[in-house]
Structure 1
Amino acid sequence: MNRILILIVFCSYLFPLEVDSLKAKTPANAAKYGAIFPGGGQIYNGRWIKAALLLSLEAASIYQWSLNGDIYKNYDSGNYSLRKHRYLEKRNKYAWWAVFIYIYGMLDAVVDAHLNPFNSIMTENIESIETKSEEE
């Protein structure tokens, strides 16, 4: 059963549906996807490099949080270079970084979705806009 599910998910990424590139991105959807998955809002907006960067930063901070938490718990059984409270401080610091990166990713996706039509508006011919307003 798991193999079939994995195969279906894998095939859905191989053959995606055609996306309308002219359709405006909504900030609500960007926030929703960003809340579900770190970097999801950037993927929704088509910013793949930014999504990969956010995902890797999130994974690195969670890994360091977990590593320092394990060292803090098992401090007495090992030979570590720092004092015990330093590992607690480092664990807390990486937990805050993970939260900050998560919230930053959501806010960045919302702002990017708001600014999505900006390029098409700025490349429009100003004279055509003026003639449209004069005709009305």
Structure 2
Amino acid sequence: MKKSALLHSEFSHLIATLGHTDEITICDAGLPIPNTTPRIDLALTLGIPTFAQTVDVFLKESQIEGVIVAKEFAQVSPEHHDALLKRIQQEENLTGKAISITYLTHEAFKVRSHQSKAIIRTGECTPYANVIFQSGVTF
């Protein structure tokens, strides 16, 4: 049996196949996901799993170099936005690598998410609790 934090086979496979600069989106329950982008649906019910729980597991398994979020996230859901920034800061401290943060309008974010290698849907019901992670390298 797998020993690390992530047990979900599709999510684990996605992370194992990420290359440098590949993007994946982790989103709330409401983000539209096009039929052309692979979907990994983790949502069980409203709020389960949370956006934060999913981000935490992803960061334990992956090296990132960039983060993209909607500008509206900071304005509409500041507590969740600040919690995400804190996690990114902790990741920088842990890895010793800088992580860029880019803000787009929510409409531009939705368009950009279509370029993701996959979109992971959570049960989160907080407005704008969505993030695009850009894969980095461990060396």
For the aligned pair, the TM-score class normalised by the smaller chain equals under 0.3
Which structure features the higher share of strand residues?
Answer: 2
Larger radius of gyration: 1
Structure with larger RCO (C-alpha < 8 A, sep 6+): 2
Relative to the length of structure 2, the TM-score reads 0.22
